[in-house]
Structure 1
Amino acid sequence: RRRRRPPPPQSPLEKVAAQAELSLPQLAGRWFLVGMASRCGYLAEHSHRLEATAMTVTVLDGQSLDISTFRKLDGICWEIRQRYLPAQARGRFLLKGEGDWAGVDVVVGETDHSSYAILYYQKGRSISVKLYGRTSRVSDAVADKFEQRVRAVGLSEDVTYYFPTYGGWHTVPWEQGAPMARAAPGKGPAAGTEALQRGEREAHPHGFEQFVAPCHPQ
């Protein structure tokens, strides 16, 4: 009699519940990246070089999300665009892209829509957790929630990083007339100008825009 194979182990993201009663229209708008937990070796090595990062969320067709992420690189503010497609359940998405960008599962784990959002990203069995705020600072209570969720998926404070703030006015460089450049939606290092390709390859050898797409150990 043939033995049944044991079921495959549950992935970390399968254990994460999506935000109940998630409202995509209320999720839309500006968010600042406050913190990130990831075992990415490159991120650990270059954590002293973290740049303030923000994103704008736009709801498409009532169920997909268009994400424009803004980050400074060598004095230029880059806009990187991504598309989050709806997955099987509300609050779960698939990041559309190519190469390192393909097959990334995204879950909105917790948000109050007005002050913070905790998002999970997983490719394969590698997972990262990000904390976003409507301003570049969040309350201690929200930071505690984020760190509890980080521990719940097997990450620790040793791989948790907090991003620089923009100061008391919560302004961002591209609102002050800084040079802007753009990359095409969902593309990897082949997208954008030659300067973007060269700069991002030098700065982030593990893939385009480490702090937008999840970073995965090589």
Structure 2
Amino acid sequence: MAGVWKCMLTLLLLIFVCLWGATEAVGGAKSRPRPKRPPRKKPKVEPLDLTSAQKNIDIQQMTGMWYLLNIASKCSYLINHGTKVEPTVMSLTLPPTSDQSLLVSTKTRHNHQCWEILQKYNLTPTPGRLTLPGSRPELNTDIVIGETDYNSYAILYYQKQGRTTMKLYGRSIDKLEEPLLTKFEQLAEKQALGLAFLFPFPTYSHCGDVDQHHKINCVPMC
């Protein structure tokens, strides 16, 4: 009888070993992981803090009227309505009582009315660099006067929360020479703002009298 039990135990042990081996074989046959796609390389964007302002910028010579001619931006509004932009003009004024700020008036048309947006840029110790304070420090807008000859054109950079917008202004509504337009496009390309993100503005029918005045604490990124 003991021999019979011994045989049965041996048989059960063999069955257990076989089942264990089969389980290991199934578990061990691991499928190869699917190859992961390499992450898309983000276009190399030149940070605004590395963008040099024009040397020896004279903020006094920047005052006066500037017509907005072109914008380079990934602003969703421009992407969806870039063909419906309105003529826009910006006026810069240094207040007589302070040398630490620059008053900015932007006139444009909205809902068939002329609006004037009033802002104040704070000057920084670095010439050519300004700040528009937001409701919180992280909402500040950094502004750089990248290039200007004071008399015909100016290229300004605006950056807020890591997003950069570039604006090309002219002293008159006349079209700028082709080399300047090409330069603006090349500078925009360094910010990953190719031709698809360039939006020319009308150079006619600018606002005269204003229907609405608005004081806002943020610069439109568009």
Structural mapping, 1:124-203, within 5 Å: 124-136=161-173, 137-166=175-204, 172-174=206-208, 178-184=209-215, 186-187=216-217
Q: Does 2:77 align with 1:59?
A: no
Structural mapping, 1:7-156, within 5 Å: 12-60=47-95, 61-98=98-135, 102-136=139-173, 137-156=175-194
Give the letter for the 2:196 counterpart.
Answer: D
Gaps of 5+ in 1: 1-8, 189-211
% identical equivalent positions: 37
Residues 62 and 109 (structure 1), Cα distance of their counterparts in 2 relative to 1, 3 Å cut: same
CA distance in 1, matches of 2:122, 2:92: 13
Query: How far off is 1:10 after superposition?
Result: 9.2
Residues 20 and 180 (structure 1), Cα distance of their counterparts in 2 relative to 1, 3 Å cut: same
CA distance in 1, matches of 2:105, 2:134: 14
Residues 148 and 79 (structure 1), Cα distance of their counterparts in 2 relative to 1, 3 Å cut: same
Give the structure 2 partner of residue 203 of structure 1. none
Given that 2:139 and 2:161 are in contact with CA atoms closer than 8 Å, whether structure 1 keeps it comes out as no
SS state at 1:47 partner = helix
Q: Which moved more, 1:82-91 or 1:23-32?
A: 82-91
Given that 2:107 and 2:207 are in contact with CA atoms closer than 8 Å, whether structure 1 keeps it comes out as no
User: How many residue pairs were aligned?
Assistant: 176
SS state at 1:98 partner = coil
SS state at 1:138 partner = coil
Given that 2:133 and 2:217 are in contact with CA atoms closer than 8 Å, whether structure 1 keeps it comes out as no
Query: How far off is 1:179 after superposition?
Result: 4.9
CA distance in 2, matches of 1:161, 1:22: 27
CA distance in 1, matches of 2:147, 2:128: 9
Query: How far off is 1:147 after superposition?
Result: 0.9
CA distance in 2, matches of 1:125, 1:173: 32
Given that 2:132 and 2:217 are in contact with CA atoms closer than 8 Å, whether structure 1 keeps it comes out as no
Please list every run of at least 4 consecutive aligned residues from structure 1 whose deviation after the TM superposition is greater than 4 angstroms: none
CA distance in 1, matches of 2:125, 2:221: 21
Query: Which of the two has greater helix per residue?
Result: 2
Given that 2:46 and 2:191 are in contact with CA atoms closer than 8 Å, whether structure 1 keeps it comes out as no
Over residues 32-79 of structure 1, what are the superposed CA-to-partner deviations in whole Å (9 max), with x where a residue is unaligned?
000000111221110111000001000232342110000011221100
Given that 1:11 and 1:125 are in contact with CA atoms closer than 8 Å, whether structure 2 keeps it comes out as no
What TM-score do you get using the length of structure 2 for normalisation?
Answer: 0.73
Given that 1:52 and 1:72 are in contact with CA atoms closer than 8 Å, whether structure 2 keeps it comes out as yes
Q: Which moved more, 1:32-41 or 1:133-142?
A: 133-142
What TM-score do you get using the length of structure 1 for normalisation?
Answer: 0.74
CA distance in 1, matches of 2:130, 2:72: 19
Over residues 117-142 of structure 1, what are the superposed CA-to-partner deviations in whole Å (9 max), with x where a residue is unaligned?
00000012110100000012322121
Give the letter for the 2:203 counterpart.
Answer: T
Q: Does 2:221 align with 1:214?
A: yes
CA distance in 2, matches of 1:15, 1:72: 34
CA distance in 2, matches of 1:14, 1:40: 20
Gaps of 5+ in 2: 1-43
Give the letter for the 1:21 counterpart.
Answer: N
CA distance in 1, matches of 2:49, 2:207: 38
SS state at 2:60 partner = helix
Larger Rg: 2
